[in-house]
């Protein structure tokens, strides 16, 4: 008799569970559009050439050792990550008012940020968009914050509900934390325009709300690293404070290496250094210090002009392929005369299309066409190829007619 006999089976993760179901399906035409991971036109996972080069350099560098990193991670990596998101000429960096700590990819960065806020910030409520990446609620709740939502997506226009968003943030208690997707909102693919970001910034600053950016797709949305950081930089250039969680999972294809960073932009250098001292007390009992390999790859690429340029080209190629898939899927549905308006497929930004298909239609497509996606109708465009577009278009057509 096990002392754990009363443990009940937990449900599968709503996103990763899609892959579990996909793996069990013996059909040769099966298609996994669930998890947000880039695939080549041949349907294969991609290791960037520039990552291979960096790893080669690292392996051949006999001076490299395997000692523990400091609690805050690799110093070069942290400096370069802040520069990547804030811009190389950022006055906040020049003023030493940014503290950056290496964390376990985007998820770990969000979690460390949450625990710091729960311990040291007077307002423990965080507002997250509705809908948002499914893990946000759990990360922030377990990190010690109270999670509330603000209106974001309008199913009727399949666009941004800017009115609802501004109303909800306007009625949030002063000081509340606001989670913002820096670009390529997951799962909707709907981002505010530059002007709308301006409105959001004004409201957040005037109500003394605290912005917490989740930047999981820098460079993946537009293909341009600076353009995708515009929202964050707009908030930093007003001199105010904010949190930024960065992930290198998608934009460097380092998913399993778990490389990311948490940056906290503070009012001045003195606050930043005190904040960093407390971040160490959050990290040390959680995992002591972060892993060395992935951060070394990133630092090697970011500090070498040639490797950096090569990375931007490979990144642009990934973003472009996704944009091409949007066009091909849209054209395929138009060619079939599939009922409904599908322009959102080409308007939405980043890795995902929020199709508007409902749970029943998704279940139908899985059962009849072996196409796997999350039940909210989100499909990963990065999992699609010219070869599989017709199959998906057939399935969508059948599901809605």
Residues marked as catalytic? 133, 214, 250
User: Contact with ligand PMP (CB under 6 A): which of 101, 177, 204, 216?
Assistant: 216
**Cα 338 to Cα 397: distance, rounded to the nearest angstrom:** 5
Give yes or no for residue 214 binding ligand PMP (CB under 6 A): yes
**Cα 215 to Cα 244: distance, rounded to the nearest angstrom:** 7
Give 80 or 272: the residue with its C-beta nearer to ligand PMP. Answer: 80
Give 22 or 133: the residue with its C-beta nearer to ligand PMP. Answer: 133
Q: Least distance in Å: CB of 252 to ligand PMP?
A: 11
What angle (nearest 5°) sits at the alpha carbon of residue 282, between those of residues 274 and 36?
115
Give 73 or 260: the residue with its C-beta nearer to ligand PMP. Answer: 260
Strand partners, 211: 178
Give 36 or 73: the residue with its C-beta nearer to ligand PMP. Answer: 36
Give yes or no for residue 253 binding ligand PMP (CB under 6 A): no
**Cα 126 to Cα 118: distance, rounded to the nearest angstrom:** 10
Q: Up-side HSE of residue 178: CA atoms within 13 Å toward CB?
A: 29
Q: Least distance in Å: CB of 368 to ligand PMP?
A: 28
**Cα 249 to Cα 106: distance, rounded to the nearest angstrom:** 8
Give yes or no for residue 218 binding ligand PMP (CB under 6 A): no
**Cα 93 to Cα 236: distance, rounded to the nearest angstrom:** 10
User: Contact with ligand PMP (CB under 6 A): which of 90, 222, 247, 366?
Assistant: 247
Q: How many residues bind ligand PMP (CB under 6 A)?
A: 12
**Cα 88 to Cα 85: distance, rounded to the nearest angstrom:** 9
CB 21, CB 372: distance < 8 Å: yes
Give 50 or 249: the residue with its C-beta nearer to ligand PMP. Answer: 249
Roughly how many angstroms between the first and final C-alpha of the chain, as a whole number? 53
CB 332, CB 235: distance < 8 Å: no
Q: Least distance in Å: CB of 266 to ligand PMP?
A: 23
Give yes or no for residue 105 binding ligand PMP (CB under 6 A): yes
Give yes or no for residue 32 binding ligand PMP (CB under 6 A): no
Give 138 or 387: the residue with its C-beta nearer to ligand PMP. Answer: 138
Q: Least distance in Å: CB of 382 to ligand PMP?
A: 11
Residues 336-395 that bind ligand PMP (CB under 6 A): none
With tokens 């341009």, the residue in question is: 224
Residues 186-205 that bind ligand PMP (CB under 6 A): 186
Burial 355-386 (b: 16+ CB within 10 A, else e): bbbeeebbebbbeebbbbbbbbbbbbbbbbbe
Region near ligand PMP per CB under 6 A, out of 100-108, 322-330, 369-377, 391-399: 100-108
Region near ligand PMP per CB under 6 A, out of 99-107, 194-202, 331-339, 361-369: 99-107
Region near ligand PMP per CB under 6 A, out of 104-112, 192-200, 225-233, 277-285: 104-112
Region near ligand PMP per CB under 6 A, out of 101-109, 111-119, 274-282, 290-298: 101-109
User: Contact with ligand PMP (CB under 6 A): which of 22, 38, 116, 133?
Assistant: 133
What is the pattern of x (binds ligand PMP, CB under 6 A) and - over residues 273-292?
Answer: --------------------
Region near ligand PMP per CB under 6 A, out of 105-113, 140-148, 226-234, 313-321: 105-113
Burial 269-295 (b: 16+ CB within 10 A, else e): eeebeebbeebeebbeeeeebbbbebb
Give 219 or 395: the residue with its C-beta nearer to ligand PMP. Answer: 219
Give 247 or 263: the residue with its C-beta nearer to ligand PMP. Answer: 247
List interacting residues with ligand PMP (CB under 6 A).
36, 105-107, 133, 181, 186, 214, 216, 247, 249, 260
């Amino acid at each position: 008799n096990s002392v754990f006999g009363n443990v009940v089976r937990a449900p599968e993760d709503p996103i990763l569970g899609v892959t579990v179901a996909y793996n069990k399906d013996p059909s040769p035409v099966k298609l996994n559009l669930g998890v947000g991971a880039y695939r080549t036109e041949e349907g294969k996972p991609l290791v960037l050439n520039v990552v291979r080069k960096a790893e080669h350099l690292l392996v051949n560098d006999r001076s490299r050792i395997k000692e523990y990193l400091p609690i805050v991670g690799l110093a070069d990596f942290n400096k370069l990550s802040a520069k990547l998101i804030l811009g190389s000429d950022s006055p906040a960096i020049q003023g030493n008012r940014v503290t950056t700590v290496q964390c376990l990819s985007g998820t770990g960065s969000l979690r460390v940020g949450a625990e710091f806020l729960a311990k040291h910030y007077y307002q423990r409520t965080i507002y997250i968009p509705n809908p948002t990446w499914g893990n946000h609620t759990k990360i922030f709740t377990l990190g010690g914050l109270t999670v509330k939502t603000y209106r974001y997506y309008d199913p009727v226009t399949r666009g941004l509900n800017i009115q609802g968003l501004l109303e909800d943030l306007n009625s949030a208690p002063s000081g509340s934390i606001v989670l913002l997707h820096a670009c390529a909102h997951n799962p909707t693919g709907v981002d505010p325009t530059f002007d709308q970001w301006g409105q959001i910034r004004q409201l957040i600053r005037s109500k003394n709300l605290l912005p917490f950016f989740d930047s999981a797709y820098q460079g993946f949305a537009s293909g341009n690293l600076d353009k995708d950081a515009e929202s964050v930089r707009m908030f930093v250039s007003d001199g105010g404070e904010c949190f930024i969680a960065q992930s290198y999972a998608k934009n460097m294809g380092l998913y399993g290496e778990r490389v990311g960073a948490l940056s906290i932009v503070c009012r001045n250098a003195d606050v930043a250094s005190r904040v960093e001292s407390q971040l160490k007390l959050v990290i040390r009992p959680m995992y002591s210090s972060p892993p060395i390999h992935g951060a070394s790859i990133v630092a090697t690429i970011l500090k070498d002009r040639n490797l950096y340029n090569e990375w931007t080209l490979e990144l642009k190629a990934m973003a472009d392929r996704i944009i091409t898939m949007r066009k091909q899927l849209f054209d395929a549905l138009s060619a079939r005369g599939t009922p409904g308006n599908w322009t959102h497929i080409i308007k939405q930004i980043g890795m995902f299309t929020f199709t508007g298909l409902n749970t029943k239609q998704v279940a139908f497509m899985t059962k009849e066409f072996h196409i796997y996606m999350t039940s909210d109708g989100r499909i990963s465009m990065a999992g699609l190829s010219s070869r599989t577009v017709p199959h998906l278009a057939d399935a969508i057509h059948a599901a809605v007619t």
